[in-house]
Amino acid sequence: MATSGEALNASDYIQHHLTNAVMCLADGEVAFNYACQDAGFWSLHIDSLLFSVGLGVLFLWSFYKVGQKATTGVPGKFQCFVEMCVESVDRIVKESFHGRSAVIAPLALTIFVWILLMNIMDLIPVDFIPEAANRLLGVPYLKIVPTTDLNITLGLALSVLVLIVFYSIKVKGFGGFIKELTLKPFNHWALIPVNLVLETVTLIAKPISLSLRLFGNLYAGELIFILIALMPWWVQFALSVPWAIFHILVIVLQAFIFMMLTIVYLSMAHEEH
């Protein structure tokens, strides 16, 4: 399992698996990885983008195909899975979302399934795809779990923040949104600066907490898999299988929490009081 670890010491092996395939524009030329150290913001984690977009396309294509081939008779196993996901998310939205919007249920379903697929990549042996990419394509660095990249989780969370602000303004009006930021929790003009600071911090804390919770749990799980891969082969199976079984709960739970909090935040944005 730790094939690439044979030529590296433990510290280098861990660092290698935690390094993204980075592409940047350095001195007018495309560069990769360590040549991008001084590129700052203008760099792309191409592995995270590749796997996240690819899994998103896989989700859309597979669910679309199921919708096209859905039958009223005895459904297939995958159709049953899709129907269970749709019905469960729809029930949760009806119970938790107190506004009126045709967007929330499809959004919640997309968030849950997409994040679940990205998290499931963590169950693939840590050396399997990166080692194949290195030998076949000459790609030295490759992280296959997009949710272990803070850029991806923060991007998802910032998208939720944009929707929160959008629906707050749409439902309450721009004036109502400003009043919510300036006259809560203390309804007095003299405390507007205090309210503005408190409400702004609360608003910003929502995407930060969403992104860090998802990133932290998946990053820690990936790190444990990497540490297990450093052990002798006869120990790896004994440790990796129980951890993988436990990690399945983490994978599903983190996708559910992200979806649930998104529904709650958007429900709060629709509440006019």
Q: What is the pLDDT of residue 189?
A: 76
Q: Give per-10-residue mean pLDDT for the chain (273 aa).
A: 55 86 64 56 82 95 87 77 90 87 90 96 90 85 92 94 92 86 79 87 91 94 91 84 92 95 91 68
Q: Which residues have C-beta within 8 Å of that of residue 142, sequence separation ≥ 6?
A: 21, 47, 129, 130, 133, 134
Angstrom CA distances, 155 to 149, 150, 151, 266, stand at: 10, 8, 6, 17
Q: What is the pLDDT of residue 38?
A: 56
Yes or no: say if 43 and 23 are a contact pair by the CB < 8 Å rule.
yes
Q: Which amino acid is at 208?
A: I
Separation of alpha carbons 79 and 238, rounded Å: 34
* Cα angle for residues 101, 107, 112 (degrees, 5° grid): 140
**Catalytic: which of 9, 88, 187, 209?**
209
213 annotated active-site: yes
Angstrom distance (rounded) from CA 96 to CA 109: 14
Contact at 8 Å (CB) between 85 and 62? Answer: no
What pTM, to 2 d.p., does this model score? 0.88
Q: Exactly one of 20, 119, 168, 217 is catalytic; name it.
A: 217
The reported pLDDT for the residue numbered 71 is: 73
Residue of 151, 93, 88, 92 lying closest to 118 (CA atoms): 151
Residue 134 in contact with residue 237, Cβ under 8 Å?
Answer: no
The pLDDT of residue 1: 41
Is 240 a residue of the active site? no
pLDDT reported for residue 6: 47
User: With 0-12 CB in 10 A as exposed, 13-18 as middle and 19+ as buried, what is 71?
Assistant: exposed
Quick check: is 209 catalytic? yes
Sorted by sequence, the CB contacts under 8 Å of residue 93 that are 6+ apart come out as: 104, 105, 108, 263
Residue 37: its pLDDT value, please?
55
The residue annotated as part of the active site, out of 62, 134, 159, 213, is 213
pLDDT, tens digit, 9 for 90 and up, residues 27-73: 554 555 655 655 555 678 889 999 999 999 999 999 998 888 877 77
Given this model, what pLDDT does residue 209 score? Answer: 93
Residue 43 burial by CB count (10 A; 0-12/13-18/19+): exposed, middle or buried?
buried
